Amino acid sequence: MHDPEYGHGHHHEEHSPEEAFALLKYMADHTRHHCEELHDLAHSVNGDAESLIHEAVESFRSGVEKLDEALTRLKGE
């Protein structure tokens, strides 16, 4: 379930730097959690579906790494 405060609409709100950082961190952590769930789910299915789920997890993890790098840069490190 997704936090309704952070909805999935396509509105473009302006956020303060602090809000943007907090939202980005939340989304990176949230996606990381979904990766774990999907990894576990992959072991419940067989064949091509299992492989595709594992590939998707790797893609999500790559995206999370980019979000983590963005967070590092926003912190000025």
- What are 26-46's pLDDT values in tens digits? 999 999 999 999 999 999 999
Q: What is the mean pLDDT of residues 9-16?
A: 78
Q: What is the pTM of this model?
A: 0.76
What distance in Å separates the CA atoms of residue 14 and residue 54, rounded to the nearest whole number?
35
Query: pLDDT tens for residues 59-71?
Result: 999 999 999 999 9
Which pLDDT does position 5 carry in this prediction?
Answer: 52
> Mean pLDDT score of the chain, rounded to an integer?
89
pLDDT of residue 13: 84
